Amino acid sequence: MAYLALVAGTPFLSSAGPIAAIIICIYSILFIVLTLALSVASVLLFRWINTQAALVKLLRPTVETVNKTTAAVQRGSAPTENENKIIRTIAQGPERVKALDKQVDVLSDRVVSYAIEFRARTLQVQTVARTFFLPGLRQAKGKDSANSLDRQSLTSAEAIKEHIPALPVVPLPKTDGREPAASASQRSNVSSR
């Protein structure tokens, strides 16, 4: 009772009660509207997910057919003409990849042989140029420095030797200095490349 007397005695408190009730009603209505909106959104979202799952289930037999056809092509049997055109096109993928792989191997072998030939020609030109333009330089260095090659030119020279056929070796008789090392008949028996 004292509370009612206090509320009735102050005009601010008597008018604040209905204002508080209105504010509580507005918050309750907003909460209910937001709850309903989230419920409707979740229902629509789950409905969309269910539709997508059904589409995936419809797509599964096609994927299995593509997998079986691809496996059959890898084993060596071609796809039949009465199959779907998309499935036949997809099944031809491994064959095309193998054909491209063979072409890449052939082209890479060709490029490697051209690179080896280019390196051999470069070394040949360098050697001929050094021999003709600097003949005294090789004799002044001596055998040790002339025979020492860096690692890169040694491996290049070994790669070149693999691709150049070896010349036949003809044994020459030992002489005591009075007769020629090889007679004319021995020199004519040597075959050229």
Half-sphere exposure of 186 (CA within 13 A, CB side): 9
Mean pLDDT of the chain: 75
Residues 163/121, Cβ–Cβ less than 8 Å = no
φ, ψ at 169 (rounded to 5°): -100, 125
C-alpha torsion angle, residues 34, 38, 41, 46 (rounded to 10): -170
How confident is the model at residue 16, as a pLDDT? 80
Query: Where are the domains positioned within the chain?
Result: 10-91, 93-164
The two most distant CA atoms of the chain are separated, in Å, by: 154
Distance (Å, whole) CA 28 – CA 19: 14
Retrieve residue 154's tokens: 């040694």
Residues 6 or more apart in contact with residue 138 via CB below 8 angstroms: 130, 131, 146
Residue 42 pLDDT: 97
For 156-183, write each residue's pLDDT tens digit: 556 555 655 555 555 655 656 555 555 5
Please give the model's pTM, rounded to 2 decimal places.
0.33
